[in-house]
């Protein structure tokens, strides 16, 4: 007979355990007041014990003096966190002996902040797709021209970037940005006056956001930003190893910094990241592979510089059999037939799967992942930054340069402000050419403004097409990426009209002229609802 969980612990035991669990009598409970490593160690025991987790904590740790748990519990949350972490580490090592599975490192996580890092390095950090959730300072909501403590603009400076052309070009981009923020905001406010029923807060925020959106192309890729990452130990370990192999010295330094800080909070999980047995050889191999692949002659005609034709989205590959595959995948879990014997009218299956979606958050089924597409995209680096954040894509980019031309928001020309912008951007292009010659193409990227186009690929399944295109075509989205998402969707619709038909929240319209206006009004409504609740 099953023992009632509420009967599992006597009063003394319950008194000890209550501090560590959200309940003691139900089968679903959360862990609290325990260091990350202990939580990881506890979960790792699930695979080797028939006891309940709460019983393991009690029998194997709390009541076993040698486990070190008491010392750990006594120091946990105390002023001497370093002692607590070291004890947690010893504790974890003791528990983990014999449990070599790498996945144990996914059982604990950490929040880490990375500040004053270049936009290029931020992209390298965010390139890790599985197990890491990033958030980054927004070019839409935050001015990037606030000077540093020493009065200089915030962009990456380092010995490897010592070049007479770098700082003057970067300064000129920031000066132009800085000089234009206020007049552009004013011009936008004149063009979009406050509307009836709109609060001053909402109107000011929306018009400021539009000005910052229009000027972000001036920011060089060396612009410093701040980001927060939440991730599990395993993902961080791999990220550190990859950064250690990166071609930019800034990223290699980040590997050391991240490793040092994460070793203070989740040491057991990142200890192999740079060690001599696994981490360092893996990083060295990544560098060797990069160099080896680079040296292979790709038999391309001379670089297609000066293309300058504008952005482009090309569908490289799609699967003519996609409809049948999606239908078979949808039927599969409801059948006992073999894959190849699953036959049904795809139209009927799609209708059953997708016809009733009421909003974009009602996700399409996993079966849509059986339709795959490959795209090559040429769009500005600012748009790349936005779309790069979609983790369900397989993607990679080419080095950021100036050969593919740049975009200037049409609104700037209408307001007669494009000349200054174009001057600063072209000056940066000249500096880029000299940096490329003297420092190489990887370092030269730092001076390239986000307005310049870059070429990248996406390999993507239809389910993510639904998610990404519905999200990235909302009318308040930035025009830089809206057109890319619209074009991707149009191309999918051309090859697979029936599969695309149900992504009905993709917005192929022109978008909102004042992109943030609707969202800010909505925010006002939420704020006043909160106020009413508080009163
Ligand atoms: C209007 C707008 C403004 C934005 N502003 C900012 C900003 O200021 N700063 C900023 O940093 N970013 C910003 N972003 C980017 C945003 O935070 C996301 O990184 C980006 O949209 C990627 O999309 P996604 O998270 O929905 O999922 P994708 O990475 O495309 O993944 C698809 C889906 O898979 C699931 N998924 C994938 N990975 C995880 C995971 N680790 N945990 C849980 N679920 C997961 C989710 O359901 C997700 O929706 C903005 C995006 C939009 C559309």
Question: What are 294-347's pLDDT values in tens digits?
Answer: 999 887 776 555 555 689 999 999 999 999 999 999 999 999 999 999 989 999
pLDDT of 304: 55
How far apart, in whole angstroms, are the C-alpha atoms of residue 29 and residue 24?
8
Place of tokens 């139900």: 26
Q: What is the band of 15 on the pLDDT scale with cuts at 50, 70, 90?
A: very high
Structure tokens at 187: 């011009």
Asked whether the predicted pLDDT for residue 529 surpasses 90, the reply is no
C-alpha 389 to ligand 1 mean position (Å): 6
Structure tokens at 203: 């109107």
How far apart, in whole angstroms, are the C-alpha atoms of residue 222 and residue 153?
11
How far apart, in whole angstroms, are the C-alpha atoms of residue 69 and residue 58?
10
Closest ligand 1 atom, CA of 393? Answer: 30
CA 242 to each of CA 161, 210, 249, 258, 279: distance values in angstroms, whole numbers, following the listed order:
22, 36, 13, 12, 9
Asked whether the predicted pLDDT for residue 453 surpasses 70, the reply is yes
Asked whether the predicted pLDDT for residue 225 surpasses 80, the reply is yes
Residues 6+ apart with CB under 8 A from 11: none
Place of tokens 């770098």: 166
Residue nearest to atom 2 of ligand 1 (CA): 477
Burial class (CB in 10 A: 0-12, 13-18, 19+), 221: buried
Contact 360/505 with Cβ under 8 angstroms?
yes
Closest ligand 1 atom, CA of 130? Answer: 41
In this structure, is the dihedral angle defined by the CA atoms of residues 40, 46, 48 and 53, taken in order, positive or negative? Answer: positive
The arithmetic mean of pLDDT across residues 460-474, rounded, is 98
pLDDT of 100: 58
pLDDT of 419: 94
The arithmetic mean of pLDDT across residues 268-279, rounded, is 92
Q: Is 228 helix (H, G, I), strand (E, B) or coil?
A: strand
Residue nearest to atom 5 of ligand 1 (CA): 138
C-alpha 86 to ligand 1 mean position (Å): 35
pLDDT of 66: 74
C-alpha 135 to ligand 1 mean position (Å): 9
Give the Cα-Cα-Cα angle 451, 124, 289 (nearest 5 degrees): 115
Structure confidence by residue, pLDDT tens digits, 417-439: 999 999 999 999 999 999 999 99
Asked whether the predicted pLDDT for residue 5 surpasses 70, the reply is no
Structure tokens at 126: 């965010």
DSSP string, 409-462: -HHHHHTT-HHHHHHHHHHHHHHHHHHHHHH-HHHHGGGSBTTBEEEEEEEEEH
C-alpha 291 to ligand 1 mean position (Å): 32
C-alpha 387 to ligand 1 mean position (Å): 9
The residue to mutate among 123, 383, 392, 478, having the most atoms of ligand 1 within 8 angstroms of its beta carbon, is 392
Residue nearest to atom 6 of ligand 1 (CA): 138
Structure confidence by residue, pLDDT tens digits, 53-69: 999 999 988 888 777 77
C-alpha 370 to ligand 1 mean position (Å): 22
Closest ligand 1 atom, CA of 135? Answer: 11
C-alpha 471 to ligand 1 mean position (Å): 9
CA 330 to each of CA 324, 348, 351, 487: distance values in angstroms, whole numbers, following the listed order:
10, 11, 11, 27
C-alpha 472 to ligand 1 mean position (Å): 11
Residue nearest to atom 42 of ligand 1 (CA): 133
Listed residue (486, 171, 453, 515) closest to 310, CA to CA: 453
pLDDT of 3: 43
Residue nearest to atom 44 of ligand 1 (CA): 133
Structure tokens at 478: 């930035």
Contact 240/262 with Cβ under 8 angstroms?
yes
pLDDT of 527: 75
Structure tokens at 466: 């639904």
Ligand 1 pocket list (CB less than 6 A): 133, 135-136, 138, 389-392, 467-468, 471, 477
DSSP string, 128-183: --SSEEEEE--TTTS-S----TTS---B---GGG--TTHHHHHHHHHHHHHHHHHH
Q: Cα 3 from chain centroid?
A: 45
Asked whether the predicted pLDDT for residue 514 surpasses 60, the reply is yes
> Can you give the pTM of this predicted structure?
0.91
How far apart, in whole angstroms, are the C-alpha atoms of residue 189 and residue 527?
23
- Greater confidence (524 vs 251) lies with 251
């Amino acid at each position: 007979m099953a023992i009632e969980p509420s009967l599992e612990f006597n009063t003394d035991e319950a008194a000890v355990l209550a501090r560590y669990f959200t309940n003691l009598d139900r089968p679903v409970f959360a862990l609290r007041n325990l260091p990350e490593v202990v939580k990881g160690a506890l979960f790792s025991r699930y695979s080797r014990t028939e006891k309940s987790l709460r019983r393991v904590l009690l029998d194997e740790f709390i009541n076993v003096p040698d486990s070190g748990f008491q010392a750990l519990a006594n120091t946990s949350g105390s002023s001497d966190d370093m002692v607590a972490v070291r004890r947690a580490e010893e504790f974890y090592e003791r528990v983990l002996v014999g449990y070599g599975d790498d996945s144990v490192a996914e059982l604990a996580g950490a929040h880490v902040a990375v500040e004053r890092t270049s936009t290029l390095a931020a992209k390298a950090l965010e390139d890790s797709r599985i197990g890491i959730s990033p958030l980054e300072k927004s070019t839409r909501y935050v001015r990037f021209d606030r000077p540093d403590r020493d009065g200089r603009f915030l962009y990456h400076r380092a010995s490897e970037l010592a070049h007479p052309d770098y700082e003057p070009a970067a300064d000129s981009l920031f000066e132009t940005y800085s000089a234009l923020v206020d007049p552009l905001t004013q011009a936008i406010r004149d063009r979009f006056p406050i509307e009836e029923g709109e609060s001053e807060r909402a109107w000011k925020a929306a018009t400021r956001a539009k000005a910052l959106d229009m000027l972000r192309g001036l920011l060089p890729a060396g612009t410093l930003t701040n980001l927060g990452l939440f991730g599990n130990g395993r993902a961080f370990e791999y990220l550190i190893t990859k950064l250690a192999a990166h071609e930019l010295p800034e990223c290699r330094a980040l590997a050391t910094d991240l490793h040092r800080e994460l070793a203070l909070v989740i040491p057991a999980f990142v200890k192999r990241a740079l060690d001599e047995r696994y981490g360092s050889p893996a990083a060295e191999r990544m560098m060797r592979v990069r160099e080896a692949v680079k040296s292979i002659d790709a038999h391309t005609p001379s670089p297609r510089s000066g293309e300058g034709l504008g952005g482009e989205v090309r569908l490289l590959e799609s699967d003519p059999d996609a409809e049948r595959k999606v239908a078979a995948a949808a039927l599969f879990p409801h059948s006992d037939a073999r894959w190849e014997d699953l036959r049904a009218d795809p139209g009927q299956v799609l209708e059953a799967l997708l016809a009733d979606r009421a909003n974009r958050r009602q996700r399409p089924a996993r079966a849509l992942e059986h339709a795959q597409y490959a795209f090559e995209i040429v769009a500005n680096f600012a748009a790349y930054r936005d779309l790069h954040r979609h983790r369900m894509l397989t993607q990679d980019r080419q080095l950021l340069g100036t050969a593919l031309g740049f975009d200037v928001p049409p609104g700037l020309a209408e307001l007669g402000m494009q000349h200054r912008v174009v001057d600063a951007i072209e000056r940066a292009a000249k500096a880029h050419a000299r940096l490329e010659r003297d420092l190489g193409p990887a370092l030269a990227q730092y001076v390239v403004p986000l307005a310049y186009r870059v070429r990248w690929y996406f390999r993507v399944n239809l389910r993510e097409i639904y998610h990404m295109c519905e999200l990235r075509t909302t009318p308040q989205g930035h025009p830089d990426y809206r057109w890319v998402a619209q074009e991707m969707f149009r191309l999918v619709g051309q090859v697979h009209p029936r599969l695309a038909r149900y992504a009905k929240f993709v917005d192929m319209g022109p978008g909102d002229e004042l992109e943030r206006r609707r969202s800010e009004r909505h925010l006002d409504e939420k704020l006043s609802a909160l106020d009413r609740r508080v009163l």
